[in-house]
Amino acid sequence: MNSSFLKNLFVQNQVKGVTADSRKVQEGFIYVAILGTQVDGHQFLKEAQEKGAIALIGEKDFPETHVPYFRVKNSRKALGQLATEFFQYPSDALIILGITGTSGKTTVSYLLEAILKEAGYRVGVIGSVNYRYSDYSLESTLTTPGAVELQNLLAEMKNAQCQVVIMEVSSHALQQHRVEGISFDGVIFTNLSPEHLDYHSNMEAYFQAKLLLFTDVIHYSKKRGKNPIAVVYQGDPYGKRICQLLKHESWVFGFEHPDLKVNSEGISGNLAGIPIHSRLVGDFNSLNIAAALTLAKNLSISSLAIEKGIQQLKNIPGRLECIYRKDIQIWIDHAHKPGALKESLAALKKMNPKRLILVFGCGGNRYQGKRPMMAQLAAHYADLTWVTSDSPRTEDPVKIIHEIILGFPEKALFQVEVDRKKAIFQAIQKAQPGDWICITGRGHERYQIIGTERYELNDQVIVQQVLKSRV
């Protein structure tokens, strides 16, 4: 790619936009053809040219061009670089904190946000619940948005006077160079367990994608003049590998499972000399608190701000969130993978409900190997389970459920109800005083994907409707 030619286009303010979506191309845009998993953007090169693109980028030959065309090895990487240039390197002027891992990213982001706000910082957050800053909030479609949208968000946050941006960084985002051109000041690794193996070929490939945040991304951040800090949970075998790989680096801080008291009222104790009083529950949230605290301390945030920030955070939307606490308790959780489900169910079981009732399903067009694993966990921790539909997408929900129930041992107590609303209704109606119900998979989400369409569905709303009719 002739970087000097493209650089001149930016210097001369000739570039009006950068996109990998041919439908968005306008006069003065640079169009980047991405070879996607379902659509090949190269087939739209001619269309982009006709719409007024002033330069085209792709990985294949394109002899029909009438404007400069640059063939590159990796279009996704080129897109990230061009988007960074177009939005004038916004991350350089911000404190950027990235969190990666299979579970815990959202909770750690909320903890860091609370701590940093208590310390007086103006904070933006990019994550799986929403993208938010100042008084603005947009429901997220991807945990980490595409390269152009991401750079645009950072530029908007910078212009809104944000000082810190906390970002959940997915393995897809790292593999697909969505964070290309972003300089980080701090990164966190929480854990790694089987997930996204429909995209990554195996656990090693999944790990190598996560590792990029601690190698390539950190290296780029240093080139941009930053001194990033890495916080890694080394109680996880993959976290331990990161610490071993980077053992000679002074910027890596490994932490172990903290010794904190965990019960139904929350988490308490003392960690690194800081009193901990949190309303969050579960051993896994002790780890999330430790991750946020360790990074905050190494960013020189005051102990008082850390203590107050953790204390003031009451709950995380849809993350083991108790939404009803009377004769029975009802918990909503986003857990949709084996590791997260195990953590949540173990946390609830440890608090000794009379019975633990579970409602769960598995999403369609996602890693199928986890389906029987989820059933095995349900049988181990729950006293009674309803297997229902999650977001089947283009798969047959009955087929998904069949693959789930293959994992139940012979004497497991479970029922099948494809209709999610009915399953939640049946579970609540069946509950007796002292029982706890955990409804997992959707969490904060307000929709269900059937086919390629989104339909309104909110577990919390369903629960409220059922409670009104409960006898």
**CATH at residue 7:** 3.40.1390.10
Give residue 64's pLDDT band: very low, low, confident or very high (50, 70, 90).
Answer: confident
Domain count, the chain: 3
Per-residue buried b or exposed e for 423-454, using 16+ beta carbons within 10 Å of the residue's own CB: bbbbbbeebeeebbbbbbbbbbbeebbbeeee
* CA–CA dist 38, 403 (Å, integer): 25
The whole-number average pLDDT for the span 386-400 is 97
Instruction: Provide DSSP, 77-145.
Output: HHHHHHHHHHTT-GGGGSEEEEEESSSSHHHHHHHHHHHHHHTT--EEEESSSEEEETTEEEE-SSSS-
Check if the beta carbon of residue 93 is closer than 8 Å to that of residue 158.
Answer: yes
pLDDT at residue 157, as a whole number: 98
Query: Could you tell me the residue range of the domain that residue 325 belongs to?
Result: 321-469
Look at residue 335 and tell me whether its pLDDT is greater than 80. yes
How many Cβ atoms are within 10 Å of 320's Cβ, its own excluded? 26
pLDDT at residue 199, as a whole number: 82
Look at residue 312 and tell me whether its pLDDT is greater than 90. yes
Residues 239 and 346 occupy one common structural domain = no
Look at residue 300 and tell me whether its pLDDT is greater than 90. yes
Domain boundary among 270, 293, 312: 312
Residues 412 and 450 occupy one common structural domain = yes
CATH value at residue 271: 3.40.1190.10
Residues 359 and 449 occupy one common structural domain = yes
Residues 252 and 141 occupy one common structural domain = yes
Residues 227 and 300 occupy one common structural domain = yes
pLDDT at residue 3, as a whole number: 74
Residues 437 and 344 occupy one common structural domain = yes
Residues 385 and 418 occupy one common structural domain = yes
CATH value at residue 453: 3.90.190.20
Check if the beta carbon of residue 344 is closer than 8 Å to that of residue 285.
Answer: no
Three-state SS at 450:
strand
pLDDT at residue 197, as a whole number: 77
Q: Find the angle CA(150)-CA(153)-CA(157) to the nearest 5 degrees.
A: 140
pLDDT at residue 204, as a whole number: 96
Domain boundary among 86, 115, 134: 86
pLDDT at residue 2, as a whole number: 60
* CA–CA dist 425, 430 (Å, integer): 9
Question: Who's near 361: CB < 8 A, 6+ residues apart?
Answer: 387, 388, 389, 390, 397, 400, 401, 404, 420, 441
Residues 327 and 462 occupy one common structural domain = yes
The whole-number average pLDDT for the span 166-185 is 97
* CA–CA dist 8, 20 (Å, integer): 21
The whole-number average pLDDT for the span 92-96 is 98
Q: Find the angle CA(165)-CA(167)-CA(172) to the nearest 5 degrees.
A: 150
Domain boundary among 312, 337, 355: 312
pLDDT at residue 1, as a whole number: 60
Across the chain, mean pLDDT equals 95
Global pTM? 0.93
